[in-house]
Amino acid sequence: MTQEKTYYCDTVGCEEKYLVLAACPYDAAKQFAGDLSTDDRSYTWTVGVHFNGELCASHDITIHPSLPAGVDGDTVWRQKSVVGSRHGGVIVVDIAYCGILRVTDTGANRSYDGSRVTTITYMDSELSEEAQAVVDSDSLEELAETLNRAENSICGPDGACKSLMDIGIDVTGLRVFGGPAPVDTAEIYSWDDHGILISVNGNWCVKDR
């Protein structure tokens, strides 16, 4: 068993500094950076680790924000936009089915030394009324009814129609309601234990499996 030691940690750009009990300098740096970080965005800290009064290691530690409610490791993200950032790199905006946005900036600058780091930020997205209704659907049948209402809402009196994507509904990422996935999911948008959701000429319906 590795014996823990007491390290003294500090970082450039922050007045916080204190003693950390850890198994190695890297673990001490991670613990120190984690205590400094907030939950709203990721940040990279350069942590100096001292032992017996001497600098023994320096580590760049990136702490990412906690996942927001409704998002987990299995969440499917759809790319919404990619733009160049003002410091170089790119800003990638992804959206989850629940409407949460994930903003990844590969060209963020640290305020104290100007070095480039990658940050991740999560934020709520303004969903259209129709898209929110899709998210809130509790069954396959309700989802089909909601999608049919959305289809009816996207055509104006002049006959011009928008797409479901135009009002924030991505039918390639609809939730499923249990049961094994069909062997062939082509043209099948969702399912549960007993049925599958399909679209026929813009009409959403549930068919038996």
Question: What SS3 state is found at 136?
Answer: helix
Report the alpha-carbon distance of residue 133 to residue 142 in Å, rounded.
10
Please tell me the predicted confidence (pLDDT) of residue 141.
95
pLDDT tens sequence across 31-55:
888 887 666 677 788 899 999 989 9
Please tell me the predicted confidence (pLDDT) of residue 104.
85
Show me where the domains of the chain are located: 5-63, 77-124, 129-208
Distances (CA, A) of 170 to 30, 134, 184: 38, 10, 20
Residue with tokens 């009816």: 152
pLDDT tens sequence across 58-90:
998 888 888 888 888 888 888 877 866 545 677
Task: Annotate 36-71 with b (16+ C-beta within 10 A) or e (fewer).
Answer: ebeeebbbbbbbbbbeeeeeebebebebebeebeeb
What does residue 138 show for φ and ψ, rounded to 5 degrees? -105, 0
Q: Contact at 8 Å (CB) between 125 and 99?
A: yes
Tallying the residues shown for the chain, one arrives at 209
Please tell me the predicted confidence (pLDDT) of residue 2.
67
Task: Annotate 11-27 with b (16+ C-beta within 10 A) or e (fewer).
Answer: beeeeeeeebebeebeb
Six-digit token string for 39: 């939950």
Please tell me the predicted confidence (pLDDT) of residue 197.
95
Residue with tokens 């909601």: 146
- pLDDT above 90 covers what percent of the chain? 21
Q: Contact at 8 Å (CB) between 4 and 23?
A: yes
Largest CA distance in the chain: 79
Please tell me the predicted confidence (pLDDT) of residue 38.
63
DSSP track, 160-171? -B--GGGGT--G
Q: How many CB atoms lie within 10 A of CB 9?
A: 25
- Higher per-residue pLDDT: 49 or 17: 49
* HSE-CB for 112 with a 13 A CA cutoff: 9
Of 25-29, 33-37, 203-207, least confident by mean pLDDT is 33-37
Q: Mean pLDDT over residues 184-191, rounded? A: 88
Q: Does the structure show a pLDDT above 60 at 138?
A: yes
